[in-house]
Structure 1
Amino acid sequence: MRNFHFEGELVLAIGQQGQDVSVEAAPGLIWGYGVGVGVDLTRQDLQDEAKMTQRLWCTSKGLDFSAPAGALVPASKVGYIQRKTITLFVNGEQKQDSELRKMIWSPAEIISYLSAFHRLEPGDIIFSGTPAGVGPLKVGDMCEVTVDGLPPCRFRVTDPRPASSP
Structure 2
Amino acid sequence: MKATVPSGGSDGRPRTRRARQGAERRRRLRRHDRGRDEVTWEDLAAEPFLAVGPEPSVRRLTDAAFEQAGAVVTPAAEAGNVATVGGLVAASLGVSAMPALVLPLLGPGHVVHRELTGPAVERRLDIVVRARRTLPPAAAAFLDLLDEARAEGREVPAGATWIHH
Is TM-score (shorter-chain normalized) higher than 0.5? no
Name whichever structure is richer in helix by fraction.
Answer: 2
| TM-score w.r.t. length of structure 1 | 0.25
Scaled by the length of structure 2, the TM-score of the pair is: 0.25
Larger Rg: 2
Choose between structure 1 and 2: higher strand proportion.
Answer: 1
